[in-house]
Chain A
Amino acid sequence: MIRLPAREHRRLVAIHGWTGVGLGLLLYVVVATGTVAVLAREIGAWSSGTLATRAPLSRALDAAVGRAIVDAPPGLRDTVDLSAAADDRLAVSLRGPAGPDARGIDLDVAPDGAVLRRRDGPAADIEDADPPGALAAFLVDLHVRLYVPAPWGYAVTGVAGLALLAAALSGFAIHRHLLKDIFTLRRGARPGLTARDRHNMAGAWALPFAVVLAVTGSVFSWSASAGFPALAWMSYGGDREALFAALAGPPPPADPTPAPRADLDAVMADAAARAGAAPTYVRLARPGRADARITVYAAPPAGALTGHTLVYDGASGTLLEDRRAFGRVASVGGTLYGLMAPLHFGDFAGPASKVAWAALGLCSCVATLGGIRLWLARRDDRASALLDRCTAIVGLGLPFATAGAAAGFFAGLPGGGGPGWTEAGFLAAAAAATVAGIALPRRRVGPALSAATGIGLALLPALRWAAGEPGWGAALAAGRLAVPSGDVAVLAIAAAFLWTAAPAAMRDRRPFRPGRAVP
């Protein structure tokens, strides 16, 4: 698209290639897990077999939350967070004052108000330990920090975001016929040429999406560890509290005087009416005190990209503020920052935007893996052969391990389940893929892992049913399409993997081998 002098062009080609080769596999893992994580909520509804139709934050909450607060020790009532959990349950998290030794209580509340599960202990130990939602939580966590301990996990995914940005921008600059080649895929040409067309085509269609994802993902990964500290250092001499006071307003003066709690249901109804959409998350700060605050985060109303954040007085229930995403006055930067989350998560228009996001994520995965293989095709040395094998193992081992995580999740359900089963399933499948990738001849690694992934995915609906999850009849009778549509989607993906694993002769496709020079 950009006419560059030959020297700059060569430099950008080198940047594009080495960025892809050096960080391409990491980038692929982050993008592929993100593609799945976009649909985490739907995956959660499918895997937990939710049959209820009412969102937990849209029913009467005040009595259940009041009981939870009264039952908790006074030291653990500093904040109370409310969110929707799998299986139509309400997740209530009570926390003491923040800090490395913070403790808390997590409750799962059934639609009838009964407490189904209670976990208490150090906050770090009890978070994300929700058995029915373990699969969805695992997939999100895998994308966010690749299960690398904080803050290093965020740094790793942040590096992947920057690599994606560098690859996308350099690819945009070096591709001279971006729009002309946007429909060009010469399947009958030499394998190398076909592979190049496929990489260029996927990269071109996914380019705007890749730039958006790279920028927003980098902001999320780096804002806490570098962005806000740098902002505090530049503007407030390193005083982070002053920075946050400027952004979100000063905290209310401490007033520990006991005060009755505002009617949470009335607050929620008011918030839903003002925001024009259902609340998605609620935080009660210092409930039962005169300085209590209730913050309601609402979904975007129809047609909008961003939702409202409404702050209420926790004692009187009066609205105090419709809070901006960033800063206290309207600004271009604040608006852009507010768009980061919806543009990254792709959840602003329900399933339509999520499916589009997932499709473009898949497109980015094809571009990334195709680019690495294209680079390897120009080389025929030992290191390239090793990288080629790693690419095959990671490229197809990740879907296989994800299928393993789902299988582990369902296998653990009869015994109570939990995150441990999901993680064990993922690790076992990843280990099996690695061993197979090392032991098998290179040309058989791809078909073997594709076939294994297809078979594993095809078995998931049966495993789900065997684990006691509802069948199609019960789900359809309850008007819930998540279960049957999830099964159909999984079977369709399984068929696609089995198709790619089929012998090349069956698909009338010539094999593409690394080491063959691309003309």
Chain B
Amino acid sequence: MTPLVLAAASAAALAALGVADPKRRRAAGLAPARPRHRSAALGALACCGLGIAASAGPAGAVTWAAAVAAGGWALAQGLALVPAPSWRSIATAGRFRSRPVPVALPVVALICALLAVEGRRGAPPDDAAADRVAALALLDRLERGAPARRAAAPCLAALASARDGGGLRDLLSDRAAAVVLPADGGAGTDLQRCILSAGGEGAATARGGDTATTTIDADTASRVHALIAGTLEDADALAALAPSGGTGAGLVCRRLAAAAGPDVAGFVAALRRDRAYPKAGDLLEGLPALEALIDARRARSPCPA
């Protein structure tokens, strides 16, 4: 039983209470409902309230109570506009027994519609839903990984600016390395910040002329590697991706395929559909690079090295 079905049942119980109101029936010269019938309607209403409280929590229960009060007020005014019906006209002995189909059909249709709506709401995830779940999970990691992403950003920047930098790629292979960079260049600064992010130990820089040589021992290289590859999840690396692709593109490309499967396009479409998720926009803004990767995957191009 879900809130929508319980709300419909509550409305039916409330209507039954209104129809069976003894004072109104006596005023119309009709026999009042038996106490047990009114008790049953009241009990059904109370059960619906308990069901709502169990399924929708305190907020649902309070909302239900207020809606019952407001609905009861509206119902009472509506009932005053119509004459009180005789039991024969509303009981099974009356109209339903004589013409069951016209009465039963709308009721059955309403119940089917409610069940269909509820079934749809609680349906197991289909392909689109699975895409959405995968997208949300990845976005969730993007949020949770923000501190690690900030720490790793200088390392990615250093890598991205040193495509041809001899030795810099050794940072990703856990080997001791000696990196020679311009003494006053941005890549050198990024590298220093990257090493500091990884603890700052096991590295030394010697300046000579226009260049600075940074030597890194294997432990530091391992920590930097862990910083980049271990703490960065797919979406983290994705966020750090330059629009034109970069050294991180290969990493992203491989991990994206691992995370979202071969149908990366479905994953992206799910992201686009999920406009309600607030952080989706942040990721979608960086999508040109992602879409370039998707195109590459579709064309079965290998991931960048």
A residues at B contact (CB < 8 Å): 53-55, 58-60, 180-187, 201-202, 205-206, 208-209, 263, 265-266, 269, 272-273, 278, 300, 302-305, 342-343, 346, 348-349, 352-353, 356-357, 359-360, 363, 479
Contacts and interface: CB of A to CB of B under 8 A. Distances in A.
Contacts of A357: 66
B134 to A, nearest CB: 19
A30 B73 CA distance: 21
B281 interface: yes
A182 B278 contact: no
B81 A187 contact: yes
A473 to B, nearest CB: 19
Nearest to B76: A183
B69 A205 contact: yes
B65 interface: yes
Nearest to A361: B70
A363 B127 CA distance: 47
Interface string B129-145: 00000000000000110
Interface stretch (B55-63, B159-167, B171-179): B55-63
A349 B70 contact: no
Contacts of A184: 21, 23-24, 76
**CB-based closest 8 A-B pairs:** A303-B57, A58-B278, A359-B70, A356-B66, A183-B21, A185-B80, A205-B73, A269-B143
Contacts of A343: 62
Contact of A206 (B69, B75, B81, B147): B69
Contact of A305 (B58, B65, B73, B147): B58
B144 A183 contact: no
B107 to A, nearest CB: 23
A54 B17 CA distance: 44
B206 interface: no
Contact of B146 (A180, A263, A304): A263
Q: Is the interface of B mostly helix, strand, loop or mixed?
A: helix
B27 interface: yes
Interface residues of B, number: 39
A302 B80 contact: no
Given A53-B276, A205-B72, A479-B275, A59 B66 contact: no
Contacts of B244: none
A176 B5 CA distance: 35
A208 B65 contact: yes
Contact of B63 (A59, A185, A269, A352): A352
A202 B69 CA distance: 10
B147 A263 contact: yes
Nearest to B282: A60
Contact of B57 (A206, A302, A352): A302
Contact of A205 (B70, B80, B147, B282): B70
Interface in B20-46: 21-24, 27
B178 to A, nearest CB: 33
Nearest to B78: A185
A184 B23 CA distance: 7
30 contacts: A53-B276, A54-B281, A180-B22, A184-B23, A184-B24, A185-B77, A185-B79, A201-B73, A208-B69, A209-B66, A209-B69, A266-B146, A273-B143, A273-B144, A278-B278, A300-B59, A304-B57, A304-B59, A305-B62, A348-B59, A348-B62, A348-B63, A352-B63, A353-B63, A356-B69, A356-B70, A359-B67, A360-B73, A363-B69, A363-B73
Most A CB contacts (10 A, CB to CB) among B70, B75, B281 go to B70
B254 interface: no
Contact of B23 (A60, A181, A206, A348): A181
B179 to A, nearest CB: 28
A342 B61 CA distance: 13
A519 B73 CA distance: 24
Contacts of B62: 305, 343, 348-349, 353
A205 B278 CA distance: 40
Interface in B72-97: 72-77, 79-81
Nearest to B146: A266
Contacts of A269: 143-144, 146, 279
A117 B64 CA distance: 42
B70 A360 contact: yes
B150 interface: yes
B18 interface: yes
B60 to A, nearest CB: 6
A53 B275 contact: yes
B76 A360 contact: no
A363 B70 contact: yes
A263 B276 CA distance: 24
Most A CB contacts (10 A, CB to CB) among B24, B60, B275, B282 go to B60
B18 to A, nearest CB: 5
